[in-house]
Amino acid sequence: QMPPQLIAAQMRAAFAANPVAAVKIGMLGTAAAIQAVGSVLADDRQMPVVLDPVLASTSGRLLLAVDAIDALCRDLMPACRLVTPNLVELAALT
């Protein structure tokens, strides 16, 4: 998995080099990755953000650490204009 500092650095570099109209977030894996993404997005609250909260694979394998669900709700969801969970993900998030 990618170090959280590298995730934040890559996001900042992409935003600096390109006009970005919106952001879509998918699988992040850990609370540290979620916090890194949330910290970058906090710099521009006007940018539309869509979150697809990938929690588990269709086979049931966890793709987001259980302790990261709180971080997702606390650090990332408030920055999002749209969250697109499936029914199982919605149940886990609520």
pLDDT of residue 94: 82
Number of domains comprising the chain: 1
CATH number of the domain that 56 lies in? 3.40.1190.20
Confidence of residue 92 (pLDDT cuts 50, 70, 90): confident
pLDDT, one tens digit per residue, over 15-61 is 999 999 999 999 898 999 999 999 999 887 788 999 999 887 777 77
Residues 6+ apart with CB under 8 A from 81: 48, 49, 50
**Considering the chain, what is the average pLDDT of its residues?**
89
Helices (H), the chain: 4-17, 31-41, 68-71, 87-93
Percent of the chain at pLDDT exceeding 70: 100
- Cβ(7)–Cβ(31) under 8 Å? no
Q: What is the pTM of this model?
A: 0.86
What residues make up the domain containing 74?
4-93
